[in-house]
């Protein structure tokens, strides 16, 4: 039996949840920011162009398991409406930050997340691997929720280029933590991205259902975690016991 030396977590859904967030309101704020920056488009035509570009790059992201940041498909949408811009346009970067303001403010800790991280702190090497198109949101959330101090390594897909379940992002996490997959426990809520990806990297896995993924989703995925918990509170209560027996 290999001793567990490191624990890696997914972030959104696993340690945190979204409360009261509206994607449509964020899209409207995005349009307003771009309009005020000189991209004079009608709201409806912009939103339609945005949705088309988003879907185009969503297919790329999920097929190739690489990350594409928001500014790329926003630039694509605007260029399709007759403008000339690039993802490096500072106006687009500002608009992306405004787009994510409500999302960042809607993130809150799941019950017992801080308690669990406190228990692990100093006893295990700890990491976080998150799929997110705009990495500053994750880093800002860690600061706002006072979680950054608990992690030895934080990997966000937009920072490293790959997205879960691409094995490269898990391998990079293991490399930075200086552990093997067999020495690592991974906790997540996505059957495919978290459980499937971490298992393929030889990690022990724990599935914790969330507002995004249920036990039904896990069963339909045909992925088999080493442990299923009801929530992070249950994992916090039994962690020492399972770490010794996995």
State if pTM tops 0.75.
Answer: yes
User: Does 246 have pLDDT greater than 80?
Assistant: no
Q: What is the pLDDT of residue 2?
A: 79
Q: What is the pLDDT of residue 243?
A: 72
pLDDT of residue 35 exceeding 90: yes
CA-CA distance, 46 to 95, in Å (whole number)? 14
Q: If you average pLDDT over every residue of the chain, what do you get?
A: 96
pLDDT at 54 over 70: yes
Are residues 236 and 112 in contact, defined by beta-carbon separation less than 8 angstroms?
Answer: yes
What HEC string does the chain produce?
CCCCCEEEECCECCCEEECCCCHHHHHHHHHHHHHHCCCCCCHHHHHHHHHHHHHHHHHHHHHHCECCCHHHHHHHHHHHCCCCCCCCCHHHHHHHHHHCHHHHHHEEECCCHHHHHHHHECCEEEEEEECCCCHHHHHHHHHHCCCHHHCCEEEEHHHHCECCCCHHHHHHHHHHHCCCHHHEEEEECCHHHHHHHHHHCCCEEEECCCCCCCHHHHHHHCCCCCEECCCHHHHHHHHHHHHHHC
Looking at residues 64-88, what average pLDDT do you find?
A: 98
Would you say residue 212 has pLDDT above 70?
yes
Residue 205 has pLDDT above 70, yes or no: yes
Please say if the pLDDT value at position 52 is more than 80: yes
pLDDT digit string (tens) for 230-240?
999 999 999 98
Name every residue whose Cβ is closer than 8 Å to that of residue 90 and which is 6 or more positions away in sequence: none
What's the pLDDT at 22? 98
Q: Give percent of the chain above pLDDT 90.
A: 95
pLDDT (tens digit, 9 = 90+) per residue, 214-231? 999 999 999 999 999 999
The phi, psi pair for 104, rounded to 5°, reads: -60, -45
Which pLDDT belongs to residue 141? 98
Q: What pLDDT does residue 1 have?
A: 64
The pLDDT assigned to 240 comes to 80
- The pLDDT confidence band at residue 7, using thresholds 50, 70 and 90, is very high
Q: Round to whole Å and give the CA distance between 73 and 240.
A: 45
Q: Is the pLDDT of residue 40 over 90?
A: yes
């Amino acid at each position: 039996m290999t001793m567990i030396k490191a624990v890696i977590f997914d972030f959104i859904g696993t340690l945190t949840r979204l409360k009261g967030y509206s994607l449509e309101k964020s899209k409207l704020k995005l349009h307003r920011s771009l309009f005020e920056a000189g991209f004079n488009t009608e709201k409806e035509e912009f939103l339609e162009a945005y949705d088309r570009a988003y879907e185009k790059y969503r297919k790329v992201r999920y097929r190739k398991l690489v990350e594409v940041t928001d500014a790329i498909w926003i630039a694509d949408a605007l260029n399709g409406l007759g403008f000339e811009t690039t993802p490096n346009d500072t106006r687009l970067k500002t608009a992306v930050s405004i787009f994510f303001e409500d999302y960042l403010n809607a993130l809150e800790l799941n019950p017992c997340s801080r308690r669990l991280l406190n228990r692990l702190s100093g006893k295990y090497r700890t990491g976080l691997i998150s799929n997110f198109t705009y990495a500053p949101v994750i880093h800002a959330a860690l600061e706002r929720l006072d979680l950054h101090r608990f992690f030895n390594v934080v990997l966000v897909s937009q920072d490293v280029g790959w997205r879960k379940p691409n094995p490269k992002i898990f391998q990079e996490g293991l490399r930075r933590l200086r552990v093997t997959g067999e020495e690592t426990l991974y906790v997540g809520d996505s059957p495919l991205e978290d459980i499937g990806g971490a298992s393929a990297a030889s990690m022990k896995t724990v599935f914790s259902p969330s507002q995004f993924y249920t036990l039904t989703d896990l069963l339909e995925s045909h992925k088999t975690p080493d442990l299923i918990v009801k929530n992070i509170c249950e994992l916090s209560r039994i962690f020492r016991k399972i770490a010794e027996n996995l």
